[in-house]
Amino acid sequence: MARTRKWLGDFQRGLNSQIPSKDRPTTALLAESISKKVFRLQNVLEQEFAAVELHERLSKSMLRTLSLKYMRTSYVAHLNSYIEDVALRNLPNQKKALNIENLIVGVMSAAGAFSAPEKAGGLEETVHTARWRAKGFIKSEFYDRGESPVFQTKPKRKATL
- Residue 40 pLDDT > 80, yes or no? yes
Name which residue leads in pLDDT, 160 or 123.
123
Euclidean distance between CA atoms 139 and 145, whole angstroms: 9
- Encode pLDDT of 68-106 as tens digits: 556 777 778 877 777 777 766 666 666 666 677 778 888
Name which residue leads in pLDDT, 54 or 62.
54
Q: What is the mean pLDDT of the chain?
A: 77
Q: Where are the domains of the chain?
A: 2-51, 68-145
Residue pair 137/77 in contact (Cβ under 8 Å)? The answer is yes
Name which residue leads in pLDDT, 102 or 63.
102
Euclidean distance between CA atoms 142 and 15, whole angstroms: 56
Q: Return all residues near 133 (Cβ < 8 A) that are at least 6 apart.
A: 73, 76
Tally of CB atoms within 10 A around 138 = 19
pLDDT of amino acid 92: 66
- Residue 120 pLDDT > 80, yes or no? no
pLDDT of amino acid 148: 63
Q: CA of 22: how far to CAs of 11, 30, 35, 113, 131, in Å?
A: 20, 13, 17, 74, 79
Residue pair 123/114 in contact (Cβ under 8 Å)? The answer is yes
Name which residue leads in pLDDT, 63 or 71.
71
What is the SS3 assignment for 91? coil
Q: Which pTM value belongs to this model?
A: 0.42
Q: What is the DSSP letter of 81?
A: H
Choose among 107, 113, 114: nearest CA to 79: 107
Using pLDDT thresholds of 50, 70 and 90, give the confidence band for residue 22.
confident
- Residue 160 pLDDT > 60, yes or no? no
